[in-house]
Amino acid sequence: MEVFPRTSSRRLDKAVETFMVWVLRAGGWASVLVTFGIVITLVTESWPFFREVPLIRLFQDTMWTPLFAQPQYGIGALLAGTLVTTGVALLVAIPLGTILAIYLSEFADPKFRDWVKPMLELLSAVPTVVYGYFALLSLTPILQKIFPDLPQFSMLSAGLMMGVMIVPYVTSLGEDAMRSVPMLLREGAFALGDGKLGVGLRVVFPGAFSGLAAAYVLAISRAVGETMIVAIAAGLQPKMTMNPLDSAATVTAFIVQVSLGDLPHGSIGYQSIFAAGAALFLMTLGFNLAGHALRRRFHRAT
C-alpha cells in the first residue's frame, strides 16, 4: 500500500506557526505602542510647561495667552470654545440623528434603509477641511442674514457644520442598536394597540438606550476632538465666552494656530500645544471609555 509523506513537512509547519504567532502578536503590540507613543509624547513634551505653570493658574487666569510676554494660562478660555462648539453640534446631531435612527429602524422600507444608510455615512467621510470651507464661505453668510451682528468667524457656524458631520455617527450606531431590540418586545406593545411611533419611543428607545447613549457619547468625543472645521470657521483667538454668536478658539484650534507659526522645539509655544493636547486626550479618553463600556453593556444585554 502506498504511503505518502504524512509527517515530512510537520517541522516546517511548526516553525512557520511559531514565527507567525510572533508576527501577528507584533501587530497587536503596534496598536498598544501607538497609545504609549501618544501618552508618552504628551507627558514628556508638556512636562516643562506644567513645571513652570502652577496648576492653579490654569483655572484662575481668565485668558489663554501663553505666547505673550505677560503670559496668562486660563485654559478655561479654550475649554469654553470647545464646550460651546460641541454644544451647538450636539443640539443638531442628537435630535436629528435620533429621529433619523427611529425613522430608519422602525418606519423606513428595508430596501430604502439599506440604500440610505451608507449614503448618510458618506457625510462623515467628507474631509473636514471641506466642511470648514463650506461653513466659512457659505453657511456663515447665510447665518449673517439671520444674525446681522454675526462676525466672520463664529462658533455657531462651526458648531452647526460639525453637527451635520456627526449626524451619521448617531444615526448609524443608534439604528444598529434599535434594530437589535428583539421583535418580540415590539409585538407585545403592538398587540396592545400602540402605534409605531409609540412603540418606537416607549419600547425600542428604552430597550436600545445604552446603545444610543454609546452613540451620543462617541459623538461628543468626535465633536470635542474635531479640528479643521473650528480652526477654519470659529476663529483662532482664545476668548472666554459662552456666546455661540461670538468667535473663539477651541483647544484643537489653538494647537493648529500655534502649529501654523514657527515652532522651535522646546519653546513655550511648543510645550503649550502638548499641554492643550494632554487636556484634549484626557477628555476624549473619558468619553471613549464610557462609550466603549456602554456599547459592551448593550451587546451583553441583547
Least Å from the CB of residue 49 to other proteins: 13
DSSP-derived secondary structure letter, 103: I
Alpha carbons 135 and 165: distance in angstroms, whole number: 12
Least Å from the CB of residue 224 to other proteins: 7
Least Å from the CB of residue 76 to other proteins: 20
Least Å from the CB of residue 107 to other proteins: 5
Alpha carbons 302 and 300: distance in angstroms, whole number: 6
Least Å from the CB of residue 210 to other proteins: 15
Nearer to other proteins by Cβ, of 56 and 145: the residue is 145
Closest CA to 252 of 20, 26, 141, 89: 89
Concatenated DSSP letters of 144-190: HHHSTT--SS-HHHHHHHHHHHHHHHHHHHHHHHHHTS-HHHHHHHH
Cell of 100: 433619523
**How does 223-253 read in b/e, with b if 16+ C-beta sit within 10 Å?**
bbbbbbbbbbbbbbbbbbeeebebbbbbbbb
Least Å from the CB of residue 60 to other proteins: 26
- Rg (the chain; Cα; Å): 25
Alpha carbons 67 and 258: distance in angstroms, whole number: 9
Nearer to other proteins by Cβ, of 18 and 60: the residue is 18
| Residues in Cβ contact with 123 at an 8 Å cutoff, skipping those fewer than 6 apart | 164, 165, 167, 168
